[in-house]
Amino acid sequence: MAEATPILSVQDLVMHYTTRKGDVSAVDGVSFDLENGKSLGLVGESGCGKTSIAFSLMKLLPDNAKIKGGSIYVGGTDILQLSHDELLKFRWQRIAMVFQAAMNALNPVYTVGDQIIEALDLHWGDLSREQSRERIGQLFEMVGLDPKLMDRYPHEFSGGMRQRAVIAMALSCNPDIIIADEPTTALDVIVQDRILRELKKIQEKLGMSMIYISHDIAVIAEVSDRIGVMYAGRMAELADGVDIFEHPLHPYTYALMRAFPSIKGEKHELVTLPGEPPDLLFPPPGCRFHPRCPRATDVCKQEQPPFADNGRGHFVACWHPMEANHE
Amino acid sequence: MNMTVQTSSVDTAPPLWQMRLKLALKNFKSGWAIFKENPIGIIGLVLIVFFALLAALHPILMATAWEPAVYDPITGYDFEILIHPSPPTWIPQPDNPMWEFSFRHVLGTDPLGRDVLSQLMFSTRSEFLLGVGAALVTVLIATTIGAVAAYYGGLVDMIFMRIADVVYMLPFIALLIVLSSLFDFELIHLALVYGVLAGFGGTTIVIKSQALTIKVKAYIEAARIAGGNDLHIIFTHLVPNLLPLSFLYMMFTVTGAIFSEAVLSFFGLLDIRMSWGLMIQTAQAAGYLLNSWKYWYLMFPSGVAITLLCAAFYLVGRALDEVVNPRLRKR
Amino acid sequence: MSNNNDKPLLRVQGLKKYFPVGGGFLRQARSFIHAVDDLEFDIPMGGSLGLVGESGCGKTTTGKLLVRLHEPTDGQIFIQNEQGELEDIAHRKGESMKTFRRRVQMIFQDPYESLNPRRTIYDTVAEPLVVQGIGTIVEREERVAALLERVGLTPATSFMFRFPHELSGGQRQRVAIARALIIDPVFIAADEPTSMLDVSIRTGVMNLMMELAGEMGVSYLYITHDLAVARYMCERIAVMYLGKMVERASTEELLANPLHPYTRALISAVPVPDPRISRQAIDIKGGVSAPIDPPPICRFFARCPLGDDFCENNPHPPMEDKGGGHYVACYKV
Ligand SMILES: Nc1ncnc2c1ncn2[C@@H]1O[C@H](COP(=O)(O)OP(=O)(O)OP(=O)(O)O)[C@@H](O)[C@H]1O
Ligand SMILES: Nc1ncnc2c1ncn2[C@@H]1O[C@H](COP(=O)(O)OP(=O)(O)OP(=O)(O)O)[C@@H](O)[C@H]1O
Ligand code: SF4
Ligand SMILES: [Mg+2]
Ligand SMILES: [Mg+2]
């Protein structure tokens, strides 16, 4: 790995939601780095805290959420220490986000173009209308939309077109980092494929860094340089894409990959994990995976395994990792 | 797969009804937990209990402390007091040499020499019966029609909804006034008419729209695939899921019914012998309301009672709304 | 059950379902969505067919037609009756419909909407028995308990009297499977039963369905938008495009040797959960819309990379056997 300072560095992030039943431990001690121009994929099942991490990075938290600890460095500044005004400037210009189910979030009563102009105005201030429209035209072309469509209303767009428009919006302020939370989940495979390829192209062209979030290990495998596997609010394993597929160290990663059907290659038996992910109101002690883990021992039940580098930047949080046969 | 097929342990399980009872209890508890966090609902509930106690206490007092000849809410007369209406006996009356401190008439007497408190308490029961009766009729009608109209759609729906629209637009009170001047209107009739009108109008429309959202749920289709007929689907799937909403609207109907009773009685259009509305009407008929500050005790007790009881049911309804519609919960 | 293995369990011919658009009460609709248009296929006894395609191509409508939640606009649906004879149930009503209801069942996509929130798990699973009047209360209870254990909800007594909201998505889907199997159907239409479940739970439900179908000799139509899932669940796969079936073949044949240009594009777009395998995406232009009054030519023509004058001037191509039961509807292959 190159020794450049990462554009994003998250250390021991802890985030809770307060609810009437108690605290939901949605993110618990998550650490990762994102290098400039690279992409990181966060994969994990529903409710494991992927979106919560994204919201923390944007510092766009719901009222009942609280960051309890850790630090988030973006290009050297800890954004958790920024004032409200500083944050406003920082958000969208340094780090932007495509929200989960964002395509349903477009306001039906304004044209798509106007909604992007609004976002532009917020950050560039004094652009004339012509300048704004020109910029939107460029953005539209970048995401593969006909610029003529900017005066249409969201309902006239198909799901895939809306998703592109939302991506254009995220691009509008030239951010260094884009977080794409389930960018293609509601879309059909053909459209998904096209949008993922376009995102990759844009990333290369603009030299941006990306964080992809998905529950679909196949999507993550295709677009990410590095992959983080999350389980129940914690990062179970973090490594380079190929590495994690060739030598999964965490029993959960291992099971996840063998639970995922593929249309290519041998048709192997699909493994099933017993049980279900824990309720994060009452996460199990020790390793959060231990109730479902075939390798669990007493130490797993009592002590949280450290998130440690097993060499070559392959991090894993497990007391009994699978055999690593790194040559 | 880690699945062990054990022989079922049904024989050792407690009987069905016990399990169901436990569940009902559990559901009630969780609902109550949400309800009790809302001060509005608690205030409403306390008020309702207070009025219920008033109503329950009346016959007891009549049988014990209160002499019927004096305290009967309709035929009573207190000869020991010369001028009726008389203000509460515990308030000093400088211009009345006969006055002495007592709790003989806590809320005074009316122009006909009857005890106001006794009237108030006596009427409470009928107000409850009226309100709850009307509400039951409403819920029965609204739920059935809402469910049927939503389920069948098409012509059935159209006919019912046109009726509902018409009823919804009717000026309620005006219609009741017309009806009651044409027929002898007793409380039970009022309950019925009001219940039907409220049921057919707005409540049906609300419940039907809820039924429409339930009708498209997959469990309805599953029931049809299982071979369930229309009746089965309406009464085991649609209606039970509508009941919480119906119950909510029941609360609002109670409020409306009590209020319309007051209005009708005030115009003397009801064929009843005593009610809160009638108490005000008696005072008004005798011309005492023109000087309402002096004769406040003729109007205030029943006026306040009407307001409070109406508000109570409304508040409980609001709080139940939160239990029934999880969206409204604060968190 | 019948020993008549040469006859298919289910045979569909010329099946159509058109939904009116924009019409209303007493008002004639001027346009129709051709949601399902002229389908033809068999499902053998104990066999399984996967139905794949993009959103809105008519998969759910097909499933609902087969279990007669919709009445077909046209066409026949033959299903073997208890005597092993093929009976057309396309327009069946009344009592004879009720006996048919014992033979087919459906499993729905959304486990949060397919169970009535106000009924216990027991009520839900026992419902088919109750409405069909099968068994005494005690017998029903025993049957439900045994099946709940079989679908992995053990101990059954602790699940029987819970409400759906006390169950997770995977557990609910197991309940739905139990409800579908309780009256020993011969056919089940499963509409994306695992698409809303997480991976680690999904495989359990998939395996369970396959095991039970094998054990009880149930045939099924497995509707999914995920080719990889269809590969694991089904012996044969049929691909739909805007209401038409465009290709049908045995699973491995279809994946290894797709013939229809749409199937090829579809397969090439499926992401592979392994960064070491690279794939070459075949691009097709445009996107899917709804088949509202489509022109009579090939449905795929507007997006087809192979289409030419012949395609443009001829009716929608018929399904043709290209050998070994590999059917394709395309003039250009
Ligand atoms: N506003 C909130 N209040 C309380 N709990 C919340 C809130 N938002 C999320 N949670 C809980 O926090 C946990 C993590 O949620 P999060 O949305 O980050 O998961 P996710 O990995 O993005 O899941 P998905 O794949 O379903 O989007 C979940 O258990 C969720 O129930
Ligand atoms: N009840 C209905 N009334 C009118 N149109 C309908 C109805 N049901 C489905 N359609 C239309 O028929 C077409 C096929 O729908 P269907 O639900 O069968 O698609 P699908 O393949 O199941 O899609 P998805 O993958 O999104 O579930 C769509 O264009 C849809 O809008
Ligand atoms: S720490 Fe223990 S329980 Fe956790 S994944 Fe490793 S072996 Fe399994
Ligand atoms: Mg999320
Ligand atoms: Mg569907």
Domain with C329 in it: 235-333
Adjacent-strand bridge partners of A157: none
Looking at residue B233, its pLDDT comes to 95
Tell me, yes or no, if B2 comes closer than 8 A to chain A by beta carbon. Answer: yes
Q: Which residues of A71-105 are buried (b: 16+ CB within 10 A; e: fewer)?
A: ebbbbeeebeebeeeeeeebbbebbbbbbbebbee
The per-type count for chain B, helices as H runs and strands as E runs, is 13, 0
Pocket test for ligand 1, best of A13, A16, A51 (most atoms within 8 A of CB): A51
Residue in chain B closest to A292 (alpha carbons) equals: B2
Is B232 in contact with C131 (Cβ distance < 8 A)? yes
Half-sphere exposure of B190 (CA within 13 A, CB side): 34
| Euclidean distance between the first and the last CA atom of chain A, given in angstroms as a whole number | 17
Indicate the residue type of C257: N
**Residue C41 domain flag:** no
CB C52 within 8 A of CB C239: yes
Cα distance between residue C218 and residue C1, in whole Å: 11
Looking at residue A269, its pLDDT comes to 87
pLDDT at C259 over 90: yes
Would you give the DSSP letter of residue C275?
A: T
Q: What is the pLDDT of residues C80-93, one digit of tens each?
A: 988 888 999 999 88
Which residues, at least 6 apart from B117, have a Cβ–Cβ distance to it below 8 Å?
Answer: B105, B106, B107, B301
What residue owns the CA closest to ligand 2's atom 9? C61
Cα–Cα distances (Å) from A187 to B260, B262, C165, C193, C225, in that order, read: 55, 60, 28, 18, 10
- The model's pTM is 0.86
CB C97 within 8 A of CB C81: no
- Tokens 């005690």 belong to C138
Interface contacts A/B by beta carbons within 8 Å: 6
Cβ neighbours of B1 in A, within 8 Å: 272
Cα B269 from chain centroid? 21
CB C8 within 8 A of CB C218: no
For chain B, which residues make up each domain, given as ranges?
127-326
Give me the residues of chain A with pLDDT under 50, please.
Answer: 1-2, 326-327
Looking at residue B9, its pLDDT comes to 43
Total count of domains within chain C: 1
Cα–Cα distances (Å) from A232 to A15, B2, C72, in that order, read: 12, 22, 47
Cα distance between residue A160 and residue A183, in whole Å: 10
Chain A: give the shortest CA distance to residue B326, in Å: 13
What residue owns the CA closest to ligand 1's atom 26? A46
C1 pLDDT tier (thresholds 50, 70, 90) = very low
Structural domains of chain A ordered from first start: 8-83+225-316 (3.40.50.300)
pLDDT at C229 over 90: yes
C56 CA distance to ligand 5 centroid (A)? 7
Tell me, yes or no, if A257 comes closer than 8 A to chain C by beta carbon. Answer: yes
Tell me, yes or no, if B331 comes closer than 8 A to chain A by beta carbon. Answer: yes
| Pick from B22, B158, B223: CB nearest C25 | B158
C-alpha closest to that of A235 among A59, A47, A27, A45:
A27
pLDDT digit string (tens) for chain B, length 331 residues: 343 344 444 445 566 677 778 777 877 887 888 888 889 899 999 999 999 999 999 989 888 888 888 888 888 888 877 777 877 877 787 777 777 777 778 788 888 888 888 888 998 988 888 888 998 998 898 999 999 999 998 888 889 888 888 887 878 778 877 887 887 777 888 888 888 888 777 888 889 999 999 999 999 999 999 999 999 999 999 998 898 888 888 888 888 888 888 888 888 777 778 888 888 888 877 777 777 677 778 888 888 998 999 899 989 888 888 777 665 554 4
- List the chains bordering chain C where 3 or more Cβ pairs fall under 8 Å: A, B
Cα–Cα distances (Å) from C135 to B15, B193, B237, B290, C296, in that order, read: 18, 46, 22, 75, 52
- Tokens 């009720």 belong to C98
Under CATH, which architecture does the B127-326 domain have?
A: Orthogonal Bundle (1.10)
Q: What is the pLDDT of residues C267-298, one digit of tens each?
A: 999 998 888 888 888 888 877 778 889 999 99
Adjacent-strand bridge partners of C247: C239, C328
Looking at residue B279, its pLDDT comes to 85
| Pick from B4, B10, B226: CB nearest C141 | B10
**Residue C326 domain flag:** yes
Neighbours of A61 (CB within 10 A): 14
Residues 261-320 of A with CB under 8 A from B: 272, 274
Would you give the DSSP letter of residue C244?
A: E
Indicate the residue type of B222: A
CB C233 within 8 A of CB C50: yes
Cβ neighbours of C152 in B, within 8 Å: 1, 3
Ligand 1: nearest atom to the Cα of A48: 21
Dig out the tokens for B123 from the structure: 């009427």
Cβ neighbours of A241 in C, within 8 Å: 275
